Amino acid sequence: MSTQRIEPGAVIDGYTLEERIHQGSMATLWRVSAPGQPPLVMKMPLLREGDDPTAMVGFEVEQMIMPTLQGPHVPLFIGSGDFSAHPYIVMELIRGNSLRARLERTPLDTDEVARIGGQIATALHSLHRQHVIHLDLKPSNVMFRDTGEAVLIDFGFSRHDRLPDLLAEQFRLPMGTAPYISPEQVLRIRNDPRSDIFALGAVLYHLVTGERAFGFPTSITGLRKRLYRDPVPPRARNPSCPAWLQEIILRCLEPDPRARYQSAAQVLLALRNPGQVPLTERAKKLRQDGAVTVTRRWMRTLGAQGEAWQSTAVQIARSPVVVVALDLLAGSEALLTSIRTTSERVLSMHPGARLACVSVLKTSRLALDVTVDEKGRNLRVMRLLELKDWARPLGLAEGRLTYHVLEGPDPSSVLVDFVRENRVDHVVIGARGASPLRRYLGSVSAHVVAESPCTVTVVKVPQAEDEEEEEAAAPSRLPPGTDLR
């Protein structure tokens, strides 16, 4: 390495250093420019004698993981250098303040907490789908784009489940940031994406109460407390925190990862549908658990070791969000039964799946919408009752089911938007018959298959053999006046 000075105006591999924007304990950040490029950030690890040895390894980890990441929820990777003046990574500059700036205004109101939580959950799910667990989620590592997406930064402690973990063997102490690190990270387990769900819970707790759920412990003993000691319930610190939000936060903060939400998409679904969050004892709590419960939990953590190996990909695949789209008025009883059978099959393959039952009320584009039928009943409420009636035979626990009545002039786009926004993994939808007209002009299910960014199962009612033959004999039977252009 050369002894080139690091100062404004210096040029490293064609990047001109403009301004030092951050000096941390692990790295220095410079705003840099390059011809024809938007403003960029150059991150340089601190490599002097006596610097934190994790700084170097953290840099290696980022250099390995960042080029593999895509999408709006991470800074775009531009390039990296090993031997020039100093090792560095260059990435897109994300403007504005991190979420940390908002901690000064805490407690935030419920709507804002839920909105920020949804933004972070969306970003986390995108990261997890790319095989990466962040493992250092905290307010200062969350930025926002002008378009609203949360951007996660700093992957120095992250783990990619298809790449070597450079940190696992080398360091004997838990890695992460004390207030947010999960119990399993305290036990030095680095391969559970649900660790990020815990950190998300700790962030939401901070936003809604203005205080840290577990303080800022500085010893291993202090860190280990979160394995058995539950935090003061958010509602005890901020009475305006609704029960459903406390339920979500405390569920994210469960010491056992199996008791948390199983994917970030499931947290997102809960935050977006407060009315559908099943309220348990967690929601009602106004004080911490008693000495007996805590002692029992503490006994169980003695000598606690990590769980068996698992990967981010496996965990996500095990915990899908499945949407079943139901057209209750037009669907025949046989089709609705077929859809239920298929849904049962999908759910039996994924015991960790959440099922969202969705129905779309078609509204007219021009006329005022009629939301009350001839008998004066609210159509949304009616539809909701029908959805619940359809789902009852599935016998699913309340926490695994949600119901959604959506509205819009074009049912297929309303459905596809819902699928995109909620990071749905699998859609089950019925195909209504196979009339030749439908074959030529397309159907709702065909649009959903074409436009959804996930797997779609199209359910049909099994046809009797003679029906098939009859249809095959008259394939071009079209209603008069059908325009085929």
Partner 1 sequence: MRLALLSDLHANLEALEAVLEHGAKQGAEQLAFLGDLVGYGADPGPVVERVQAAVAAGALALKGNHDEAATRGAPSSMRADAARAVAWTREHLTEEQLAFLAGLPLTIQRGERLFVHASASDPAQWLYVLSAVDAGRSLRSVSAREIFCGHTHTPALYHLAADGSVSAFRPVPGTPIKLSVFRRWLVIPGSVGQPRDGNPAACYAMFDDVADVLVFHRVPYDAERAARKIRAAGLPGDLGARLELGG
The residues that touch partner 1, with contacts defined as CB under 8 A, are 53, 56-57, 59-60, 63-64, 67-68, 82-83, 87, 162-166, 168-170
Supply the minimum distance, in Å, between the C-beta of residue 70 and partner 1.
14
Minimum Å distance from CB 170 to partner 1? 5
CA distance 176 to 202: 13
CB of 312 to partner 1, least distance (A): 12
Give the shortest CB-417-to-partner 1 separation in angstroms.
33
Residue that is written with structure tokens 């790319």 in the block: 130
Closest CA to 456 of 465, 467, 447: 447
Look up residue 281 and give its two tokens: 């004892």
In the complex, what is the shortest distance from the CB of residue 480 to partner 1, in angstroms, rounded to a whole number? 54
Cβ-based nearer residue to partner 1, 173 or 474:
173
Nearer to partner 1, 60 or 92 (CB): 60
Minimum distance of partner 1 from residue 355's CB (angstroms): 31
Quote the distance between the C-alpha of residue 407 and its chain's center.
Answer: 24
d(CA 340, CA 355): 11
- Shortest spacing between CB 31 and partner 1, in angstroms: 25
Q: Using the minimum distance from each CB to partner 1, give the nearer residue, 57 or 252.
A: 57
Rounded CA gap, 187 and 378, in Å? 53
Minimum CB separation of residue 78 from partner 1 in Å reads 14
The sheet with strand 77-81 has its strands ordered as: 11-12, 15-23, 27-33, 40-45, 88-92, 77-81
Cβ-based nearer residue to partner 1, 80 or 412: 80
Per-residue tokens: 423: 């990071």
Cβ-in-10-Å burial (0-12, 13-18, 19+) of 397 comes to exposed
Q: CA geometry: angle at 115 spanning 253 and 426, to 5°?
A: 75
Q: How far is the CB of 85 from partner 1 (least distance, A)?
A: 15
Which residues, other chains included, contact 260 with Cβ-Cβ below 8 Å and sequence gap of 6+? 194, 197, 198, 201, 251, 252, 253, 254
| All residues at 6 or more sequence positions from 192 whose CB lies less than 8 Å from its CB, including other chains | 133, 182, 184, 257, 307, 310, 315
Q: CA–CA separation, 199 vs 178, rounded Å? A: 10
Give which of 195, 192, 196, 194 is closest to 310, Cα–Cα.
Answer: 192
Pick 45 or 107: Cβ nearer partner 1? 45
- 64 token code pair: 């390995």
Tokens (6 digits) for 14: 């064609």
Number of other CB atoms surrounding residue 293 within 10 Å: 12
* Residue 123: Cβ within 10 Å count: 26
Give the nearest distance from C-beta 388 to partner 1 in angstroms. Answer: 43
Q: Which is nearer to partner 1, 69 or 322 (CB)?
A: 69
Kindly tell me which of 67 and 148 has the beta carbon lying closer to partner 1. Answer: 67
Closer to partner 1 by Cβ: residue 67 or 215: 67
Closer CB to partner 1, residue 64 or residue 394? 64
CB of 60 to partner 1, least distance (A): 4
Question: How far from chain centre, in Å, is Cα 433?
Answer: 36
Say how far apart CA 429 and CA 342 lie, in whole Å: 10
Cβ distance to partner 1 smaller for residue 170 or 332: 170
Q: Give 373-379's long-range contacts (Cβ < 8 A, gap of 24+).
A: none
Instruction: State which residue, 64 or 446, has the beta carbon closest to partner 1.
Output: 64
